[in-house]
Every structure is written in structure tokens, then in C-alpha cells.
Chains A and B, each alone.
Chain A
Amino acid sequence: MTDRKIDEATGVPTMGHEWDGIEELDNPMPRWWLWTFYATIVFAIGYCIAYPAIPLLERATTGTLGWTSHRQLAEETARGQAARASTLAALAKVDIATLDPSSPLMQAAVEGGRAAFKINCAACHGAGAAGTRGYPNLNDDDWLWGGSRAEIHQTLMHGIRQPGDEATRMSQMPAFGRDGILKPQEIQDVVSFVRTASHQEKPGASSGRGAALYAANCAICHGADAKGGRAFGAPNLTDAIWLYGGDREALTATVTNARYGVMPAWDKTLDPATLNMLTAYVHSLGGGE
């Protein structure tokens, strides 16, 4: 390390290191490199004055420009909102039920609804709006309370079975077993009839008895043809879609204890534009009427 000497060929002192006969010369740094380095130091001083830089005990220095990442985010968010403001204002005022489906505003509504759905609705209905047991699939062509844009909007605004909301979707299925309206054997007969109506079972003695019980107890809401009644949110019992399951066990539980799905009334939480956008999005999923 200490063997510093003058290199013969160039007259430059060596650093005193040697690796396999290769020695390092003590040449000065190239001038362009040195000046670039000085320039970075000058820049750093300016930067430390202008921007938050030096950590102190309580907080860092704030810098003369007053820049913070929070403020930058707020400004950029405000810019984004300002850019969307006119579209959102138009969406807040528009009657979504009669808006032309091919209009640019509708396209904007569907895309906006897609985002709002992920935030507000996906928790129950799923990210793809496919629902799950007890939470309806919004992609399909089966609607409890109606699948037109006006009906979807109504459901969204006032929710389902929301106490305190006059316009909420309201109906109540009797708990036929728990409240003793039907005996267990009668419930089995009704289930037999429902499974026959939905072509899951062949008609038999049990379903024959069930037909009479159905006409007396269920037809008032679900209809004489068992195709449901949207005024009461009563599901179609003849189709292939079952919100709580169509097997004997699930149907027995449904008839015995009844089902009361609920959904929040979103007009308390969401602004009119978002409600319109959600309506447009849900209607666009493939099952809209």
C-alpha cells in the first residue's frame, strides 16, 4: 500500500496498489466529471433550500417553495375532479331511465358505475356482480324487483326492506314452519310442488298435495303460475335460478323460516350522479331489461 512511485511511461505517481503487475495511476479526475460533481453539489444546496430536506427533531425543514407530497396529491386529485366535473354534473341531472344507450354520456355512466360498483357494491354482489348465495347475481336475466333502468334506480335509491324509508322495496314472506302455519309434512309437499314446477322432480302424490297448499298459501305473492311477482319481490319459482338454492333441503329451510334479503338505501350515502352511474352499469351487465 505504501509503495508509491512515479510511473515511468507517464510520469504520474501511482496509488501504490498493484494487482498482477497492473498499477493504478494517481491521475486527477477528468475535468468534465469534476465540474459535473460540483454542479450536483450546487444543485443539492439549492434543492435543500427550496424543498423539504433536512430532518429535525419534530419535523423536517419545509423548504421555501412550500411543496409537500400531500399538497401535490390534492392538487392532482382536484385537477382530475375538475376534468370530470362537467360529465358528473350532466350525469347528476340526467334521467338515466330514458338516456340514449348509445350516447357518450351513457358510456361514461357505465364506466363510472364500474368503478363505483367496486367500491360500494362488490362487498356483497362480488367484483364481477355475480353475487353469491343470498346476494343476487346482477348479470343474469332474473330480477326480483325488476331489471329496467328505472326499477334498478329505484332499488338503488331506497334499498330493500330499509326501515324508515317510505319508498323502500318491502315485502315479507311468512315463516310457514316457524310460525306454525304449515306442518312439516305440508312443507315437504309444498317443496315437492315447487321442485316439480321448476322441472327438478316428476309430479307425484306429494306435489299434488303441495299444489293445493301452494294455491292457498303462496300464489298470492308468487303467482298462480309460480312465475313470481315483482310487486312483492317474489322470485320466479319455475326458472333455473335460485338465490338460496333449489335443492330440497334449501327449499325446506326457506319455506320454514322465510328469507328477508336486505340492501341499503344508497340515496343516503351516494350522490345522484353515482346512483345514475351505478344504474347504468348494473343495467349494462347483460341482463338489463
Chain B
Amino acid sequence: MNMPPSGLPARSRKLYARRPDIFPRAIDGFYRRLKWIVMAVTLAIYYVTPWLRWDRGPYAPDQAVLVDLAHRRFYFFSIEIWPHEFYYVAGLLVMAGIGLFIVTTTVGRAWCGYACPQTVWTDLFLHIERAIDGDRNAQLRLKKGPWTVGKIGRRVLKHASWLLVGLVTGGAWVFYFADAPTLAYDLATGQAAYVAYATITILTATTYIFGGFMREQVCLYMCPWPRIQGAMLDERSLIVTYKDWRGEPRSHGVKRSDDSGDCIDCQACVQVCPVGIDIRDGAQFACITCALCIDACDQMMDRVGRPRGLIDYATLEDCQAEAAGAEPVPVMRTLFRPRTLAYFSIWGAVGLAMVFALGARTRLDLATAHDRNPLWVQLSGGDVRNAYTLKIRNMESRPRTLRLAIEGLDHGVMWDSLSDAGSAGRAMAFSVAPDQVEARRIYVRAPGRGPATEDFHFTISATDGSPDRAADGARFDRPETQP
């Protein structure tokens, strides 16, 4: 934080710092092309995914990725997740978190620089701005210039284009939550749910504001990740570095002397920076390591005939080694060190555990609730009856015929509320609708003489030859005083 110059009246000092205008200059180079590719891939994933189809048979939606909030189901290709299995999503979030740890300790803030939606969309907005207003200098001129018809026209065109991108962004988001072709038709004909339009409006507004106005401020002030990454980086993490031992002292073009470093103070690295920092000030948390300053500086070094890499991806350790004239640490030893291996093992362990859990999970489930009032009913024949509400979950998207059986409780027989006591038996078969929870009221009858409380199990098993099986413990109660 700057202190006010001593001569200035203290009252004039503002505690609020206005955002300086940033007009990044266009640049071409290796990292710029890499960013183009990443942008194309990430945007393609975002826009195409909801339109992918995946056949799940006649009883389930055929959208490959679908978050069906109304029916509380989440479909991801061959995986279907019910609300009670939300821990898989938690597992994915854990993996995403640790994945960011791995990326950060090895290649630094690569996520921030290339793949983060905020970066991708800001980049997109910057390109639109340059296409309409021209490059950095033209934009600066336009901003200072008077409000002519041309300027107003350009401004209108720019904001309209941004809003259109916002609309397309928000518009694509809702397709993840409903059948995409149907929703697209409904949206176009004005028949879609009110919430779809509201979501699109909100996301259009956030995209427009985040990409058009807030830009790097989101990274600086809103996102927790840069702060966490500050603690994650170490001397062996790749960061964008200005090699001051090579660049200093800087020289201004003609005034070069033998003492001068390689930096010609052309400001190219500052002008291309989308967050408006000077990388020559050293590593700083505002830097998202987009590496555009490397492209800019390399171009300049080529022009003045100096070796490339004055600004470069390097670890702090390598920088020091290079400054001292020593060999840099081999890349393999930078990537594979105890810390990254530890992260990778945790990441892999969580992933493997999830894969095993997904592979071993049974798509049948059974939950038993014993009637409490009354706990037991004395029958005229001397037997005692207990009643249970069974909830049977068929989590597969096909109807299934299941066999319900009693394990334990000698001489106990059961029937359900839709049949009569005469059909009682140790097992019964019934069908469950696809992807449904079926509630059944089950009566169990057992001899009146016996322990006041007896534990047994209800089991359900598939009758189609699959080994799917589920069981739930239950308890049979009798009167305490028996004749």
C-alpha cells in the first residue's frame, strides 16, 4: 500500500483504489497458440457435452451428462448417481482439489493461466474488444477521444457482442439440467420453464460482468485459489520468471552500453499482460502465469538479437542455478519429488477407491421401518403379528422382479398389504418399476411364544440370475407376558 506523499494534505488521501484500465496488446507466439488450443478445447467441451447422447434403454434419459434436479438423478455416461450417493461427487471434488495441488506444485498456476473459465472467457472478451476497437493503442485513443457517432457505434457493438457471448454461455448451461433438444425447442418457442429463462438471464449477466468488467479483479479479490496457491508453490514449482541477473540494468534502446543487461525496457511484457502487472517486479500473486509476456519478450529478444528466455517458465531453484552458472535441475527431478508423489498417491487412492466403490455398488437397496404403534398385534390363533414398511430401491433403469425373503425368525411368515394372510410364506416375489423406490407394507406372523425381541433379516435378491442382493436387519417383537 502506498503512503501519501508527506506534502499532501492528509484529507485528500483515498482509501479506495480505482481499477486501472488494462488494454492488453495482441501478441502471437508459442504460449498464445497454446492458449488458443486450450480455449477451443474447453469451450468445445462446455458447449458440446449436453448434446452428447448415451443410450440407457427406454426407461431413462438418453443424455450423456444430465443433472436431473426434478427427479434427483445425476447421469454421467454409464454412471447414474442417486442423491444418497452424493459422496461420489464429494470424491470428485476432493480429486479436483488435490489435482490442483499436483498441478500447482509441478507446473505452477497452469490452471489459472489456461483452463480456468474466468481466464478463458476473459480472453474471449478481450479478443472481441480488440476485433471491434482495435489493438491496445487504438483502444487507448478511443477511450480518450470524444463521443463521436463512430465511438458510440463501436461501444454499442462491443457490449452487444459481449452480451451475446454471455447469452450463449448462460444458454448452454441450462442444457445440462434438462433434455437438451427438447429444452432448446421449448426455449425458442417460449414454452420452457420460468427457471430456465431466469438462469439464462442471471448467467448472461454474470458472464457479461465477469468477462467484460471485473476480469482480473475476480482473480485478485474473489477467488480463494491464488491465495492458497501462494502457500502451495515452492522453489521447484514452475512459474513465469523474469531473469533479473540477465536483464538488469535495463537500457532504453540507443543508450545501450556494455554494462547493460538484456532488458531493453520496451514494456512489451507489461503491455500484453491481461492482469496489468510488471513481471519484472518478481513473482507476485496477481500473476496467473498465462505466459503471454514470455511470447512478447521472446519476440523482442529475437529482434534485438539476444537469446530468448529473458522471461521464461522456470523454477526459482533453476533461476538461482542459472544465475550462478550451474546446471539446472533435470525436469524429471522437478516433476517427481516426494511432495508431488505424495499428492499423486492421495489423488490416485481417492480415484481408485471411487472406481472400486462404483464397480462394487449394488443397484438394489432395502430399508426397513418397524411399526411402533402397535409394536405387535396378538392374533386370535395365538400367533403374533408385526408390521414393517419396506422401502425397496431399484436403482437400475429397467423394471426388475425381486425376491423378498425372511432370514432368521423360525416359523415366521410374511405377506404384504395387497395380498391376504392366507398367502403368507417365507419368501415372496414382486416387481419394482425402473429407477424407483417402492414402498411395501409387510406383515410378519410368528408363534406367540418366544423371546420378547428377536432379530432377523429381510433380504431382497434379483431373480434374473444377477448376484445383486441387499439385506436389512429387522426386529420382531412379542408381548412381554405370554400365556
CB of A130 within 8 Å of the partner chain = yes
CB-based contact B377/A137 at 8 Å: yes
User: Beyond A101-B418, A286-B387, is A10–B10 a contact (Cβ under 8 Å)?
Assistant: yes
Chain A 1-15 residues near chain B, CB threshold 8 A: 8-12
Do residues A239 and B377 form an inter-chain contact, with CB atoms below 8 A? no
Q: Does B373 contact A (CB under 8 A)?
A: yes
* B443-455 vs A, Cβ < 8 Å mask (1 yes, 0 no): 1000010000000
A130-B483 Cα distance, complex, nearest whole Å: 19
Query: Are B11 and A11 neighbours in the complex by a CB distance under 8 Å?
Result: yes
Does B379 belong to the interface (CB within 8 Å)? Answer: yes
Nearest A residue to B372, CB-CB: A128
Q: Is residue B421 within 8 Å, beta carbon to beta carbon, of the partner chain?
A: yes
Docked-complex contact B483 and A286, CB < 8 angstroms: no
Docked Cα-Cα span, A128 to B373, in Å, equals 5
A8 / chain B contacts, CB cutoff of 8 Å: 10
Contact with B along A227-255 (1 / 0, CB 8 A): 00000000010011100001000000000
Contact of A130 with B418 in the complex, beta carbons under 8 Å? no
Give the total of A residues in contact with B, Cβ under 8 Å. 26
- Candidates B10, B13, B373, B380; contact of A142 at CB < 8 Å: B380
A286, B380: Cβ atoms closer than 8 Å? no
> Shortest Cβ distance from B472 into chain A, in angstroms?
21
Chain A contacts of B11 at CB under 8 A?
A: 10-12
Shortest beta-carbon distance from B441 to chain A in Å: 8
What's the nearest-Cβ distance from chain B to residue A155, in Å? 18
A140 with B373: CB separation less than 8 A: no
Q: Which residues of B contact A129 (CB under 8 A)?
A: 374
Contact B13 A286 (CB under 8 A): no
Given contacts A284-B417, A286-B387, contact A240 B382 (CB under 8 A): yes
A103 touches B (CB below 8 Å)? no
> How far is A140 from B443 in the complex, measured between Cα atoms in Å?
12
Contact in complex: B418, A139 (CB < 8 Å): no
A126–B387 Cα gap in the complex (Å)?
A: 17
The 8 Å CB contact of B377, one of A11, A140, A200, A284, is A140
B387 lies within 8 A of A11 (CB) = no
Q: Does A185 contact B (CB under 8 A)?
A: no
- CB-defined contacts of B387 to chain A, threshold 8 Å: 139, 286
B58 within 8 Å of A (CB atoms): no
Residue of A with least CB distance to B385: A286
Is residue A102 within 8 Å, beta carbon to beta carbon, of the partner chain? yes
B374, A141: Cβ atoms closer than 8 Å: no
Q: State in angstroms the CA–CA spacing of A12 and B448 once bound together.
A: 87
Q: Does B9 touch A at the CB level, under 8 Å?
A: yes
Nearest-neighbor residue (CB-CB) of A247 within chain B: B483
Q: Can you report 22 A-B residue pairs in the complex whose CB atoms are below 8 A from each other?
A: A8-B10, A10-B10, A11-B9, A11-B10, A101-B418, A102-B418, A126-B373, A126-B374, A128-B373, A129-B374, A130-B377, A139-B374, A140-B380, A140-B385, A141-B380, A239-B381, A240-B378, A240-B382, A240-B448, A284-B417, A286-B377, A287-B377
Further contacts, 19 of them, CB under 8 A, given A11-B9, A141-B381: A10-B10, A10-B11, A11-B10, A127-B373, A128-B372, A128-B373, A130-B374, A137-B377, A137-B378, A139-B385, A140-B379, A140-B380, A236-B380, A239-B380, A239-B381, A240-B448, A246-B483, A284-B417, A286-B385
4 interchain residue pairs of minimum CB distance: A128-B373, A11-B10, A239-B380, A130-B374
